[in-house]
């Protein structure tokens, strides 16, 4: 199921009118990128930093928690193959959106759960999904995911790009299995 070749940054023109962009933060960006990279319809992925105050931050700066940035994944997708709503639903399946500033062993504001929206339509969709998940009590605790306008995305250092492809066998807070790619609503926590 290795499909990373089709997700290389630069493979799709950023101005391609046939693709749209999305940005998500769900903990350590290595696993989030790895997850989205295998989703059919996702054309490119890149990891970086966004949502903070520091211009052109380094990984070391972001790790201090003083930049305001989150580790995030920016992707381009083909809306003829996958809907934004499906990407949002996958986002909620891949991590715990009820923990504040933490995913797995990683703790700090840089690991917060955020959907960075690029349009009013994306904001409406994200809010609708959160409302639905809340109403049907899909999680035992309240969702703390932030939904905020997309800001400047600062591409992370090259060694972070497609990290799990370059470093197989490393552990991650995201437990990936192909069944997760089903884009129906997340089931209730057990």
Residues 6+ apart with CB under 8 A from 80: 18, 41
- Is 63 designated active site? no
3-class SS at 137?
A: coil
| CA atoms of 95 and 132, how far apart (whole Å) | 17
| CA atoms of 104 and 111, how far apart (whole Å) | 10
3-class SS at 33?
A: helix
Please report, for residues 128, 154, 166, the alpha-carbon distance to residue 30 in angstroms, rounded to integers and kept in the order given.
27, 15, 11
| Selection from 95, 123, 101, 116 nearest residue 26 by Cα | 95
How far does Cα 115 stand from its chain's mean position?
7
Query: Which residue in 28, 63, 172, 177 is the catalytic one?
Result: 28
Sign, CA torsion 160/162/168/174: positive
Number of other residues whose CB lies within 10 A of the CB of residue 44: 22
Catalytic (active-site) positions:
28
């Amino acid at each position: 199921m290795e499909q990373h070749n089709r997700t290389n940054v630069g493979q799709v023109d950023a101005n391609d009118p046939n693709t749209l962009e999305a940005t998500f933060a769900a903990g350590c960006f290595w696993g989030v990128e790895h997850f989205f990279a295998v989703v059919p319809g996702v054309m490119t992925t890149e990891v970086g930093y966004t949502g903070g105050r520091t211009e052109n931050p380094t990984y070391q700066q972001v790790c201090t928690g003083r930049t305001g940035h989150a580790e995030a994944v920016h992707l381009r997708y083909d809306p003829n193959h996958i809907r934004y709503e499906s990407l949002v639903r996958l986002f909620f399946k891949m991590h715990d959106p009820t923990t504040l500033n933490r995913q797995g062993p990683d703790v700090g504001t840089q690991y917060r759960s955020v959907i960075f929206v690029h349009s009013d339509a994306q904001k409406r969709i994200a809010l609708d999904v959160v409302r639905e998940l809340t109403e049907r009590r899909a999680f035992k605790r309240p969702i703390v995911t932030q939904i905020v306008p997309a800001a400047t995305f600062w591409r992370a250092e090259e060694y972070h790009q497609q990290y799990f492809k370059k470093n197989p066998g490393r552990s991650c807070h995201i437990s990936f299995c192909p069944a997760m790619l089903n884009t129906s609503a997340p089931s209730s926590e057990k």
